[in-house]
Structure 1
Amino acid sequence: MSNIDDNPSQEPTERSRRGFLRTAALAGAGAATVGVGGTVVGGTPAFAADSAKSGRTGTWRPDQTALQFTLAVMPDTQFLYWGSQDSVNRTPQEESFRYIIDNSGTATDNIVFMAHLGDLTQDADPSSFQQVDKAFAVLDSHGAAYSVLAGNHDVTGDDSRGDTSYLQTMGPHRFKRAKTFAGADPTGYNTAHIFQAAGRSWLVLALDWRTTDQGFAWANDVIKAHPKMPVILTSHDIVASPYDDNVFPYESGDPEDNAVLSGYGQTVWDKLINDNDQIFLTLNGHYWPPGRTTRKNAAGHDVAMHITNYQNRYFGGGGMIRLYHFDLARNTIDVETINPWILAQDPESRNELAAEHARITGPVDNFSIPIDFEKRFAGFIPVPVRPARPAARELVKGTLAYWRFDGQGAAGTSLSAGQTIHDLSGKGNDLTVVTVPGAASDALTWSADHHPDQPGHASLKFVGGRNPVHGSYLSTGPKAPLNSETFTSGYTIETFVMLPLDWDSGKNGNASILSRRGSAGAAGKHGKNTDPNEPLAQFAITNNGREAQFNHYPLNDTYPTTNWGHGMVELKWWHLAVVNDGRLTKLYVEGAPVVDNPNRLSVGLTSLGLPWLVGGHEYAGAVDVVFHGNVGDIRIVNRPLSMDEFLTAK
């Protein structure tokens, strides 16, 4: 992988080209102006767009417990602050700051922190930093949480340079009242910040654009001092785009892998990132166009590395921000790029360039990152294993049957025909293994796999199917009390299921986890959706999308009620529950009701006094398919349970 030079073509130092880009931006804005005049330090150009503001700024109020939150990222804003050239315009950046504050705590954004990526100014002039100071006062006055760092246009040399206008304006003293400020190194150019989100602490390291060995040592010490915090590393220069300004990366390659470590970025990787597994995301500006790549660290885990910079776009980027929407429920980070300054303008007043840049929607600007947060952070935040719970604790009032599979056989060993699994409720509904003639020796085995919230830390692994029917299943005895139970006062049926990768809809679809023998026709059932050959009750996985389905014939009707929905991916454990309150039946997947829960009177379960099957499905009086997958604890209760009584309850 090639490296980019420290003075890349993407960020030239010649002012003539800088001036050209800036002039082009101003020309775009000028198309919407009346009487464009000169500017003065601290003033704003006489652009009509500048008069559009969002009005009164709201309150900083992020929700620190919600599983969805947003990190706002602001890249190089240098073209807004060129005081030595009498060219300053705080308006775009201040509008972005107002947006960040106003959208903290909102359900859609919940912005909890803002990270600036450096190059706050074009010239590092004290007059430029005076204006930067006034812009950031918008954040300070509302208690907003943020970090800043120095870019090459703010300073020269490395972090041992001593005092500068940047340090005087944006140094550690600025954060003395900030609740998120966690400290700075002795130079003041490297800072640490801790914000709260999704019920945990997150560490942001904001490093100088050129960090010395002492700076890296300090950063390593900060990470070691906070060993259970995920770390977001920000600096001005880490990865770069290998493409020219005029060629967008998604036109030349994979938009998910179109950045490379710069020469300095390789140093950052070697001295800080590679050996610190807590660093899962790095953000930098400096180069353009935007891009991203993913590298494996020493622990073998992904580190997402992103460059975001829009200084070559309309109005020098116009204070554009990148929003990283973390969703710990979906295990995803959704990324979007917006310009609040333009969005605050009347759409009718926007010039063509502004309209194009209100939202940037290319694949390098608007994308999603799948990340299993629990798994990615497990190396430094071990996932607590919920201990097994004794069976007696799960025998709630009304329990008629409770089957679990721990402590009865070594994982991987087979169950043989006629082997008994006892009903732990004490009601006498024991199960017996039934083997289809010709079944493989491993058709039914003990397994240590289990749902993380399952009381019993074991399951049964069924290797079954149809055409021809094969496998082993279990059955209650001919005189088991459960066989004649009709559940007129309601019921709850719970189980845990995991489907294997080789699950096939043709071979394994509509196989039952649990079913009641006896055909609908034999029970006198008829009417719409009635199949006279199907069993009276079946808790199955459909062949259409691997969805859980509970199909049953109630006492009060001649045709069935069917609850079903939610596709279940393979190799993931699922808790399934059917609850009937004496009138209506609801199916829950992982505690969430499915969409197809009919509002139909459904009283009890019809019975012909025949056995229940675990892993077997009967059709026309004979077992026609055996389940394929793992089945964990099963509990049947003769009353409706609330979710806080489920087997998954804490």
Structure 2
Amino acid sequence: MNASPPSHPGRRTLLKTAVAVPAAGAVTASALAAGAAPARAAADARGAGFDADSPRFALAVLPDTQYLFDADSADPEPLRATFRYLLTQRKEANVAFMTHLGDITEHGTADEIELAADTFELIDRRIPYSVLAGNHDIASGDDQRGDTPYLDAFGPHRFAAAPTFGGASPDGYNSYHLLRAAGRTWLILALDWRVSAAGLSWAQGVLDAHPTVPAVLTTHDLVWAEDDGTAHLSDNGTRMWDGLVKGNDQIFLALGGHYWPPGRTVLKNDADNDVHLHITNYQDRYYGGAGMIRLYTFDLVRNVIDIETFSPWFLSRDPADRTPLEAETLELTGPVDRFSLTVDFEDRFRGFAPAVVPKPRPAADVLVRGTVAYWRFDASGAALPAAGAPVPDGTVVRDLSGNGNDLTVGRLHDSGAQALTVSADHHVGQPAHGSLRFDGGTGPDRGAILTTGRRAPLNREKFPHGYTIETFIRLPEPFVGDHAWMGILSWQGRNGDAGKTTGWSPLEPTCSLNLSSERFLQFVVYPERQDADPTSWSHALPVGRWTHIAVVNDARRTVLYVDGSKIARNPAQRSTGIATLGKPFTLGATQFDEEFGQGFYGWMGDTRIVDRPLTPKQFLTPFA
């Protein structure tokens, strides 16, 4: 009986006490691991389509299944359905690992354990997983209890060949796994429901041996919840918090079962960082929870963990054949069952695993075939003053492609010195570690520009075989003032002078990248070979963080990418080349009727133009 502690003390005390059921038919346990096994390479299981480098992966969490393995009332089919789901959906959901939270069986008898062990064979050697003992899986006591049927079936020997298995405590009841996901190593600690002082010491040793690896702690009895889902440490949870969790900043997520209803809370550890503690248990639901699982989907791009709870057994049935209780239970959408956690992974792990900032890459490394121009705003690109200082008018930023498309700094009208300054800020994946800070004003004719010389080859380049234009920008936060339709880059000249008749106005330039009043990117081009003006529109760009932008044309159509992802509003209209007029290329503003308007407001980093289409993997910061 694993309900959450209710308000009156008698029942609360009862439910927080181990249910000691004698294990009938016990047999001698297999030989226990002699000390902690040496850590293996943190490789994940091969096959099944799991992508260890994708920034998005899922941790499957399986809570108390005890009512599915209850003497002659057992029915393992719901759990089999869950395992089949994980196997068939592993690639799509990118499931890295599954962890069981204890109380696999109701009485811990040899027969119940054997049936459960046979059921788990469905995923043996196919999906890496961990298990731990709940109070219903063993007779009594802490992890020094000795041999049990549970240990016979689910001891270290079962996982010895698993590529994620790192080792087990000498008693065999505690284990750890190392898995590779999102391009880094993660640690799963699976601790007995009553871990002893020796067990806690062993767990501390595992953390000490892997000091830079973020850890998820799993155990059976950790927190209990009120009816509204507010969770609190149980007595055993308090002991684990004080003895292990709060002093180890690596542990950022701790999961337990045992009680119901489900719930969650956030506590601050000794490093003043958040630790998320959750109860996951649905044995009180219809059909003993029906093999319900939770997927914790980690997204290291969005910095979130998305959580969803559902029963694959019920979901696999034809909706027309589901009973009312099956339909009611197949997916849970309450605030403690389906929710998201915001976790800035880099910042959260900074204390024990500071992010390694990539070193600057020399220009030669990114001068791909067909590079027409490449500018960067560090010492290799120009003789710039120190960070924070204004960039004087007349400063030359060299074209590192060697094609002679150097840029010269100027200010619009009477703009002051602060309209263009040097910055050390940069996109983490940018080749150069520097940028320019443009302070375009709230109104036209204010800002700074960098333009090519009158005879620069780029002025006349038509790009008949396609092109890729890349840049990095960061919009200030807060994004104050009226900066609607500020220009980012453009070629000067009127499209009407190129014989174009289809556009919004014959006075706008033949090619420009701008930002609308809604912070939508607008890329408008007048092709060399067509009388057309295909225009791409992005979503609203974020503020306060760097964004990579790439415009790719394959001589047939143009596609705009933001952070390596295609935007939705890319026109299918034919577009071949750019109708340049031999006039300068410009960073920092866009002309109308050959007069500059709103200057760019924000940071701008490395900018490259190539005379052919590139793939995202070939961008200045590669996207898989």
Give the TM-score normalised by the residue count of structure 1: 0.81
Deviations 1:284-308 (A, max 9, x none): 0011111112233333433221111
Q: State how far apart, in whole Å, the 2-side matches of 1:551 and 1:162 are.
A: 73
1:241 aligns with 2:225: yes
Q: Distance in 1 between matches of 2:314 and 2:616?
A: 47
Question: 1:614–1:274: structure 2 CA closer, same or farther, 3 Å change rule?
Answer: same
Cα distance, 1:393 vs. partner? 4.2
Question: Does the CA-based 8 Å contact 1:64-1:199 persist in structure 2?
Answer: no
Q: Aligned to 2:91, what secondary structure does the other structure show?
A: coil
Conservation of the 8 A alpha-carbon contact between 2:444 and 2:599: no
Task: Give 3-state SS (helix, strand or coil) of 1:616's partner.
Answer: coil
- CA–CA separation in structure 2 for the residues paired with 1:362 and 1:373: 25
> Does 2:487 align with 1:512?
yes
**Distance in 1 of aligned mates of 2:396 and 2:317:** 73
* 2:468 paired with 1:492: yes
Aligned counterpart in structure 2 of residue 525 of structure 1, from 500, 505, 509: 500
1:577 aligned partner, one-letter code:
A
> Does the CA contact (< 8 Å) of 1:77 and 1:317 recur in 2?
yes
Contact 1:492–1:578, Cα closer than 8 Å, also in 2 = yes
**Cα distance change on mapping 1:11 and 1:568 into 2, 3 Å:** farther
Task: Find the partner of 2:560 among 583, 587, 594.
Answer: 587
Alignment of 1:534-553 (within 5 A): 534-544=508-518, 546-553=519-526
Asked whether the 8 Å contact 1:5–1:262 carries over to 2, the reply is: no
C-alpha change, 1:646 and 1:177, in structure 2 (3 Å) is closer
Is the CA contact (8 Å cut-off) linking 1:205 and 1:231 kept in structure 2? yes
Q: What SS is found at the alignment partner of 2:621? A: coil
Which residue in 1 is equivalent to 2:40? none
Structure 1 letter corresponding to 2:197? D
1:26-37 to structure 2, matched below 5 A, reads: none
SS of match in other structure, 2:288: helix
Tell me what 1:261 maps to.
Answer: 233
The more displaced of 71-80 and 375-384 is 375-384
Tell me what 2:545 maps to: 572
Q: Which residue of structure 2 lines up, in the alignment, with residue 61 of structure 1? A: 48
2:61 is matched with which residue? 73
Distance 1:192 1:438, change over 3 A: same
Letter in 2 for 1:279: I
How does 1:125-524 map onto structure 2 within 5 Å?
A: 125-140=109-124, 143-154=126-137, 155-243=139-227, 248-249=228-229, 258-345=230-317, 347-407=319-379, 408-503=384-479, 507-524=482-499
Alpha-carbon offset, residue 645 of structure 1? 4.7
Give the Cα separation in 2 of the matches to 1:79 and 1:642: 53
Using the alignment, how far apart are the partners of 1:450 and 1:444 within structure 2? 16
Specify whether residues 525 and 378 from structure 1 end up closer, same or farther in structure 2 by C-alpha distance, changes over 3 A only.
same
Answer yes or no: is the 8 Å Cα contact 1:6–1:262 preserved in 2: no
Name the counterpart of 1:38.
none
Residue type matched to 2:278 in 1?
A: H
In the superposition, relative to structure 1, how do residues 649 and 5 fare at CA in structure 2: closer, same or farther (>3 Å)?
A: same
Evaluate the alpha carbon distance shift between residue 305 and residue 425 of structure 1 in structure 2; reply closer, same or farther with a 3 A threshold.
same
Task: Please state how far the C-alpha of 1:499 moved relative to its aligned partner.
Answer: 1.2
Contact 1:82 1:125 in 2 (8 A): no
1:255 alignment counterpart: none
Q: How far off its partner does 1:110 sit?
A: 3.9
Report the secondary structure of 1:473's partner residue: strand
- Over 3 Å counting, the alpha-carbon distance change for 1:188 and 1:639 in structure 2 is closer
Correspondence for 2:28: none
Task: Quote the RMSD (CA, aligned, Å).
Answer: 3.3
CA contact (8 A) 2:6 2:12 kept: no
What secondary structure does 1:482 align onto?
A: helix
Q: Deviations over 1:312-338 (max 9, x none)?
A: 211222332222233445443332222
Amino acid at match of 2:50: D
In percent, how many aligned pairs have the same letter?
A: 48
1:28 aligns with none
Do the aligned partners of 1:530 and 1:559 also contact (CA within 8 Å) in 2? no
Is 1:97 the equivalent of 2:83? yes
1:53 match? none
Gaps of 5+ in 2: 20-24, 26-45
How far apart are residue 587 of structure 1 and its match?
2.7
Q: Residue 499 of structure 1 aligns to which amino acid in structure 2?
A: L
Conserved? CA contact 1:495–1:633, under 8 Å: yes
Distance in 2 between residues matched to 1:143 and 1:524, nearest whole Å:
64
Assess, with a 3 A threshold, how the Cα gap between structure 1 residues 423 and 193 changes in structure 2: closer, same or farther. closer
Asked if 2 retains the 8 angstrom alpha-carbon contact of 1:143 and 1:178, the reply is no
Q: Within 2, Cα distance between the matches of 1:549 and 1:132? A: 58
Say if 1:129 and 1:384 are closer, same or farther in 2 by CA, change over 3 A: same
Q: Letter of the aligned partner of 1:433 in structure 2?
A: V
SS of the aligned residue for 1:507 comes to: coil
Q: CA shift at 1:215, angstroms?
A: 0.9
Any idea what the Cα deviations from partners look like across 1:491-527, whole Å, max 9, x if unmatched?
33222211111335x7222211111222234444323
Alignment deviations for residues 132-181 of structure 1 (CA, whole Å, 9 cap, x no partner): 344434444x6543222222333423223333443344333433444433
Unaligned runs of 5+ in 1: 18-40, 42-58, 250-257
SS at match of 2:458: helix
Q: For residues 581 and 162 of structure 2, what CA distance do their matches in structure 1 show? A: 71
Q: Indicate conservation of the 8 Å contact 1:10/1:288, yes or no.
A: no
Instruction: State the Cα distance separating 1:461 from its structure 2 match.
Output: 0.4
Q: Normalising to structure 2: TM-score of the pair? A: 0.84
> Contact 2:61/2:294 (CA < 8 Å) preserved in 1?
yes
Q: Does the CA contact (< 8 Å) of 1:60 and 1:144 recur in 2?
A: no
Shift in Å at residue 236 of structure 1? 0.9
Give 3-state SS (helix, strand or coil) of 1:303's partner.
strand
